[in-house]
Each structure stands twice: as structure tokens, then as C-alpha cells.
Structure 1
Amino acid sequence: MARARVDMFGSSPGMGSALDVLVPDGLQPWDETAVAAHARDTDAHETALVTSCAERTFETRIFHPDGESPFGTHSLAGVAAHLVASGRLRPGSDPVARSTPDGLQRVWTDGHRVRVPFHGPAVHHGVSIGPGLVSRYADRAIESGVGRRFTLVRVDEDPRNLPAPDLRLMRESGLSDLTLFRWDRDRRHVSARVFAPGFGFPEDSGCLPAASALAVAVLSLDPASHGVPMVVTQVTARGTASVFDCVGSVVGGTADLEVAGKVWAVDRW
């Protein structure tokens, strides 16, 4: 089985979300137990097992240390970039796609740069959360996203200077995720910290769907941002930084966005 590690969206190699990509060799069967063991033992944030790969489409199963995950969008860009860079998928001007029971998830990549479209119902409305999670900012909580909603809280300072929310309180509140973000309109820049224990990430180094949710939030809070590029930087207390270039609009309740970034090849074994 071929194994590789990529860094998704880091400002430089090692600064983003680490993903291990496992690709079985030809006719050799893969062992689910061994894949799950790898996911438990690795220091990568996720392990993606490529179960099918031909022409311009692929299928994956995603594993975390505590088991298999039903969520494949987080790893979409990393897997696609690796498969194109390693010659397993044909590059070209058209996107490649991850095949899912709900349809195709498309991504354009040359093996390093990636561009992912998000199109669907725009979610943006206020939500109530416990004041113990984000102290004085609890009344600013919103749900935002493209189809799938994320819980976001707009703050006034660098999110790295704020305490992380209590993960136990998040579980007790039924919150799978919570993102603290600051929007700098003059610089057209979002700085965010993403906490997603419900998705297997106590603090997420680089989340593609969260970046799209942050873009929807900015478009809803600042209508002048429609069609104007913005940068979303997801930071952590560990000093990492993932960078997403976002542009799009929300019209008639429908979001039409493109989120772009870079995937770095880190290692193969």
C-alpha cells in the first residue's frame, strides 16, 4: 500500500492540517483493521483510504484515531491534490471529483494548488449558546454555512489571545463545533480558530468547509464584500496557520463560492 502525507492549506509546509493518504496497490486487498490502527497511531489529523481511483474520479473512506468518520469534505482537497500529483488521476483544466452516495464533490487541482466550489442554500442566523463557552461574546453567536451549518462567534481581538472553549461544555451543550473569528474589513481578512470535537478535531488546523462558512458569514455581515476576494486564515494556539482565498456571493438565499488554497507534499513511505 502506497502511503503519503500532505499538508492541507498551510501557509508553508507543516503549518496546516496533516493528512495521511493510503492507496492500496492494484489487486492487493486492503485491511480495514490495519488502516484503523494506522489512524490511531499516526500524528496526522486524518487518514484517507482511497478505495477507488480512475480517470477523474475517486472514492475514499476517512479515519480518525477513534474510528471511521462519515465526513469527507475536510480531506477532499488533500486527497485530490495527492492523486493528481502522483499521476493516479489525470490533470487538466476540468475538475476531478470525489464520488459519494449524494453525488460528486468537485475540486480543481494541478497537484499543488486547489480550487473548490461551494454552491447551495446559504445558512446565516443568530443562535443561542451558553455564556460559559465564549464569555462576553456569547450573544454574537451565529450559524453559518453552505447547506451545512457551523457555529461561529465574531470577536474583537486576535482569536489566539482568547481561551479555548471548554470541550466538555461543548459536548453538554450539543455543539459539535465552535469557531471564533475576527473580520478586518480594511484588510479583507478573517482570522479564525476552529474547534470541532464533534468531527474529531479538538482544535482544527485547517478546515475547508469551515472556510466556506466563514465566507458566508462575511458576505452576510458585509454586503459590500460580494464578489470581492477575501482571505481566511485559520490559526491555532500551536502556532499553525492555514490560508484560504475565498470569493463569491449570496443571492436569493443561495451561496455561490470558490475557496482556494495550496496542498503541500510532505512525505511518502
Structure 2
Amino acid sequence: MRVTDTRVTTVDMFGAEPGRGSALDILFPGDPDEAAQHARESRADETVLVNLCDRAERTFASQVFTASGETPFATHSLAGTAAHLVSAGRLAPGSVGRISDAGCQWLWTDGREVRVPFDGPALHEEITGEVFEPYGGTAIAAGVGRAFTFVQVERDPRDSPAPDLDLMWANKLTDLTLFRWDRERGEVLARVFAPGFGIPEDAGCLPVAAALGVLAVALDAEQQGAPVMVRQVTERGTESVFTCVSVVDDGTATVNVIGRVWGTADRGGQG
């Protein structure tokens, strides 16, 4: 069964301008088979099927799909889905939560701006592997409660080669982020590869942005509590922008990630 355009809303998450961020298709209502088929055919990075929207409880439930199928990783799409439901009047502005078997993940949104909190152990461990050799830097497994893989590079990460996917699989790596740190500007320029999550080159990833905020504090203690801009770019010209405010205290990280979600009207009515 084919999903018609009238049942799909596309939002742009965190783009430097409309159309330059991470595209998210939102289906509401619909069913999982339709959503899975749509994700296989869509040019969006992810497709979300909203299963439940409870205005009184300020919560919603959703399933997330990539071209590879359904994925359990829903933190990134949380932002675009929540902002859309608020802008469409289905949820009230303010604190909004996505419910799942694991609990409820909350964020704040007025339908345009989103503020997503991350709290948990500040993970940071050096790792080695042949897949990192072309980049010359030290690989680090880092994150807030969940580790992603990072290599710091000196040049624009778009000028570096994409990682060898066979070596990534051999090293059991789901993801690899190349990043350049500009201490004077308080800015991270990053390129994210996430084949293990069904996205070969990721246009935008909230948990990775949070991890980069914590890495900035590790690289420069003066960034503690200061806004750090994370620009996540791809070779195809997209650019997602996040502002991360991170505090690390006694091994625990608290990060607030702030960004902009663009709706259909922001793109001149083209959805």
C-alpha cells in the first residue's frame, strides 16, 4: 500500500536554514507497514509513525524507520516529531514527552525551537583500530550514558575520506564521527557516519551533538557551562546546527542541546 503525500508531513531538523538539516517524514495516522514502505522510498533521513498523541498528558508515542527498517533509536527524531505536534496544535507548547517501554523522554518546544536535556555518566575512553589509521588522530569512545566513536582531525572533515565500512563492521563499530575543534570560536565541525543505525552519512544526530558538547569540555575546561556550537555537515551539502551547554561534575554529564526545527511553511509551502 502506498502512502499518499497528504498523510505525510516533512520537517527539517536543525538545518542552518530550511532544507539544509536532517529531513524527517512524519506519518499520522498510519500503520507500520505503510511507514516502513515509505521509509524505503523516501529521501528523508528517517520516517516517524505517530501511534498516540495525548494532549492532556502532553505525550506521544512513535515508531521510527530508516530505509533499512524499524530502528529502536528515537532520540533524534523526538525533536522534530514533538515540534511538529506542537506547531500543528496537537500538543501544547512547553514540556513534551515521548513514551516508550523504557519510560518517557522529555524535551521543551514551542513548535520551532527545541531544548533537549541529556543526563548520565560522562563516558570517555581511548580506543584503537585499523579503521582509524587514515585520520591520524586518537579515537575516543565518548558520550552521555551511551558511547559513540570520535576521531579529532585538523582539517575540515569533509576533506577526509569516508571510513571503510568493512573495517567498521570488523571492529563492531556502528558509527564514526570525524570532528574539528575550534577553541577560539567555541565551535565543533563534525561529520557523522552511522551505518550501524541505517544511515551511512548522518545529516544530524542529537545524541552525537550532546557527546561533542562533553568532548569540548574535556578538550577545554573553560567550555564548562558555556554555549558550544556544533555544526554537523555532510559531503552532500547539508548542515545541522546545535548549541550545546554542558556541565561535567564528578563523572556525570548534564547537557542541554538547543536547535531549530523548520516546518513546511518555513520552506515556502513545499513539503
Q: What are the within-5 Å matches in structure 2 for residues 93-172 of structure 1?
A: 95-130=95-130, 132-138=131-137, 140-172=138-170
2:175 to 158, 174, 177: 177
Q: Which residue of 2 aligns with 1:27?
A: none
1:250 to 238, 248, 251: 248
**1:264 counterpart = 2:262:** yes
Kept after mapping to 2: 8 A contact 1:121/1:255? yes
Kept after mapping to 2: 8 A contact 1:4/1:268? no
Q: Which residue of 2 aligns with 1:232?
A: 230
Kept after mapping to 2: 8 A contact 1:159/1:181? yes
CA RMSD, Structure 1 to Structure 2 (Å) = 1.4
Where does structure 2 lack aligned partners over 5 or more consecutive residues?
A: 1-5
1:90 to 92, 98, 107: 92
CA distance in 2, matches of 1:81, 1:136: 37
Q: Which residue of 1 aligns with 2:3?
A: none
Supply the AA of the counterpart residue of 1:7.
D
Per-residue deviation, 1:129: 2.2
1:136 to 1:71, Cα distance in 2 relative to 1, 3 A: closer
1:134 to 1:20, Cα distance in 2 relative to 1, 3 A: farther
Q: What are the within-5 Å matches in structure 2 for residues 50-89 of structure 1?
A: 50-55=50-55, 56-89=58-91
Per-residue deviation, 1:112: 0.7
Per-residue deviation, 1:2: 3.3
SS of residue matched to 2:215: helix
CA distance in 1, matches of 2:13, 2:166: 28
Kept after mapping to 2: 8 A contact 1:167/1:202? no
CA distance in 1, matches of 2:247, 2:167: 34
Kept after mapping to 2: 8 A contact 1:134/1:165? no
**1:20 counterpart = 2:25:** yes
Where does structure 1 lack aligned partners over 5 or more consecutive residues?
A: 25-29
Per-residue deviation, 1:136: 4.3
Per-residue deviation, 1:68: 0.7
Per-residue deviation, 1:32: 2.3
Percent identity, aligned pairs only?
A: 55
CA distance in 1, matches of 2:142, 2:228: 17
Kept after mapping to 1: 8 A contact 2:31/2:49? no
Q: TM-score, normalised by structure 1?
A: 0.93
* Count of matched residue pairs: 260
SS of residue matched to 2:134: helix
Q: Which residue of 2 aligns with 1:38?
A: 38
Per-residue deviation, 1:268: 7.6
- Could you list the structure 1 runs, at least 4 aligned residues long, displaced by more than 6 angstroms after superposition: none
Kept after mapping to 1: 8 A contact 2:23/2:46? yes
2:10 to 5, 9, 22: 5
Supply the AA of the counterpart residue of 2:74.
G
Q: Which moved more, 1:164-173 or 1:210-219?
A: 164-173
Kept after mapping to 1: 8 A contact 2:132/2:151? no
Kept after mapping to 1: 8 A contact 2:157/2:189? yes
Supply the AA of the counterpart residue of 2:170.
E
Kept after mapping to 2: 8 A contact 1:39/1:47? yes
SS of residue matched to 2:76: coil
CA distance in 1, matches of 2:270, 2:31: 20
SS of residue matched to 2:36: helix
CA distance in 1, matches of 2:213, 2:148: 12
Kept after mapping to 2: 8 A contact 1:155/1:180? yes
Q: Which moved more, 1:1-10 or 1:202-211?
A: 1-10
Per-residue deviation, 1:104: 1.4
Supply the AA of the counterpart residue of 1:19.
L
Per-residue deviation, 1:14: 0.9
Kept after mapping to 1: 8 A contact 2:132/2:139? no
CA distance in 2, matches of 1:167, 1:147: 25
